[in-house]
Amino acid sequence: MPRLIPAALLLLAATMPAAAQQSDILRLACKASDPAMSPPLVFSIDLAAKDAVETTGGKHYGVTSYRDGLGLYDPAQGPATVVFRIDRVTGRFARVDTQLRWDGTCEKVEPKL
């Protein structure tokens, strides 16, 4: 029995960094107000690494944090070329890089364990 306690503590300590890393990842399900404009998008945003992935298409974006929102930009073009803006307070979502701009909403998705 005494051997199990150190083994359990070691296992717990090994899983703690993974739990801390998971808290830095924000998962959002976003949909356009007009479904004809865009299919639903799901983003996995790593705030610490400033990297986002649109999970269905696999496209990577850089992340700029604002006081009240996030900007996702094309990493090849740099932070000045924001593609998507997400408001942290209201959950509003907008594509801003094309002439035909559209908006919608985002909801936080909790990962299933």
Say if 84 falls within a structural domain. yes
Residue 100 φ then ψ, to 5°: -90, 90
Could you tell me what percent of the chain has a pLDDT over 70?
79
Q: Which domain holds residue 88?
A: 24-108
Q: Provide the whole-model pTM.
A: 0.75
Say if 4 falls within a structural domain. no
Say if 1 falls within a structural domain. no
Say if 28 falls within a structural domain. yes
State the total domains in the chain: 1
Which CB contacts under 8 angstroms, 24+ apart, belong to 82-91?
A: 84/30, 86/28, 86/30
Say if 7 falls within a structural domain. no
What span, in angstroms and rounded, lies between the C-alpha atoms of 63 and 46? 8
Say if 5 falls within a structural domain. no
pLDDT digits 0-9 by tens, 12-22: 344 444 444 45
pLDDT digits 0-9 by tens, 53-89: 999 899 999 999 999 999 999 999 999 999 999 999 9
